[in-house]
Structure 1
């Protein structure tokens, strides 16, 4: 049996406990998964380190949206890297692009240097790069250890052809980790087709709000987002994914 990494993306201490207890080997720690994840707050980082006994990698993403950052956003990212390092976070998940869709080397290099040897994952900014093979080589040169990618497709299942090509091109120099739309149902085919040994999924489910009262005329954010439900890691899905990995 191969030694697979099962990374679960979480945005709460509750989900960290569930993921760690049901077979995850690593956590990607985010704030607000509903918008794709942003840099987690200090309190959440500390809580997850207290309640989960597996490595946690924090995403460095200052806002929702694209990955072309202003000077002030870049300064914020640098400060977040330093803060995560001081909090003894196990690794970082980050990325930045130029307007024409290439890795922003001028911004990424200082972030890598500030990480001071932490494990580094290039996040799915990779999936909107204009040349994935150029980005692969640049990520290796910068010192990243992992690339999280759907194979530049809507999900990793649809992107499995490019994922396989990237893994072959990487040739062991960097870990290519399929992510986006990965479930226990398609996990086996994704891994056997691509040859990947790490996988990333949110394994999320919905739970109702604990609130028994709500003003239907008031929204804290977009009216299109249902604020009466909360995303949480599904223990059965994590367990099922772990069971699939144990058969490979």
Structure 2
């Protein structure tokens, strides 16, 4: 059972590793849903932890459709992240009709040069998620799809997530990474309903559940214990 934790600082990442995280999603702009962090933070986190780190590549929070200037920034960011070494990516790109922008996705993956990628919650704006999962399955670099099942929170989207998980299990790729609104309370029921093997936590493992506060060791350990029990 993989537990991914959002980090916005080096201390977040270190605390997450020490208290049960399997992987870090490194971002800035947490209130905007996550934006690309600076290269200084990226390098410092990579040096501070030994668990995998996936870095957000998202130049702004206006939409998941990008113009030529945005794309140039994204490609430059990917090159810098790749040069730092030992990292993976998180990104998501849509066309105006809210389908996967395969042309741009292909360019980003080419720039990533083999780095593993999570397609983030841009996926939750896609009307036909089942078709979109099939599209993303054609790209072997995309190992995860972060989703709340098209709803505001993963518990609300549990029924859809269960369907996506079954399809993912049949095809073996990409894995469904359930996120948004998950907490320790109700987590066992959510896991039973969806059968997901990967979960993503942000505010729920921070002090007072506040996205702008540091990662809380006690809250994180409570989630880890539930996942360990479920794994058995």
Q: TM-score range by the shorter chain?
A: over 0.9
Larger Rg computed on CA atoms? 1
Between the aligned partners of 1:234 and 1:110, the Cα distance in structure 2 is 38
Q: Mapping of 1:182-201 within 5 angstroms? A: 182-201=182-201
Residues 1:9 and 1:207: Cα distance change in structure 2 (over 3 Å)? closer
Q: Contact 1:205 / 1:232 at 8 angstroms: preserved in 2? A: yes
Is the partner of 1:63 in helix, strand or coil? coil
Deviation at 1:231, TM superposition (A): 2.3
Deviations 1:173-210 (A, max 9, x none): 220010001111122222111111110001222599xx
Deviation at 1:75, TM superposition (A): 1.1
2:89 is equivalent to residue 87 of structure 1: no
Aligned to 1:168: 166
Is the partner of 1:247 in helix, strand or coil? helix
- Number of aligned pairs? 225
Gaps of 5+ in 2: none
Q: Contact 1:206 / 1:230 at 8 angstroms: preserved in 2? A: no
Residues 1:54 and 1:124: Cα distance change in structure 2 (over 3 Å)? same
Greater share of helix residues, 1 or 2?
2
Gaps of 5+ in 1: 209-228
Aligned-residue CA RMSD (Å)? 1.6
Q: Mapping of 1:43-82 within 5 angstroms? A: 43-82=40-79
TM-score (norm 1): 0.87
Aligned to 1:242: 224
Residues 1:162 and 1:207: Cα distance change in structure 2 (over 3 Å)? closer
Between the aligned partners of 2:25 and 2:209, the Cα distance in structure 1 is 21
2:93 is equivalent to residue 96 of structure 1: yes
Q: Contact 2:144 / 2:173 at 8 angstroms: preserved in 1? A: no
Deviations 1:71-109 (A, max 9, x none): 110111111111111011421001110011100011001
Between the aligned partners of 1:157 and 1:46, the Cα distance in structure 2 is 34
Q: Contact 1:145 / 1:174 at 8 angstroms: preserved in 2? A: yes
2:110 is equivalent to residue 108 of structure 1: no
Q: Contact 1:67 / 1:96 at 8 angstroms: preserved in 2? A: yes
TM-score (norm 2): 0.93
Is the partner of 1:130 in helix, strand or coil? coil
Is the partner of 2:188 in helix, strand or coil? helix
Between the aligned partners of 1:78 and 1:205, the Cα distance in structure 2 is 35
Aligned to 1:159: 157
Deviation at 1:122, TM superposition (A): 0.3
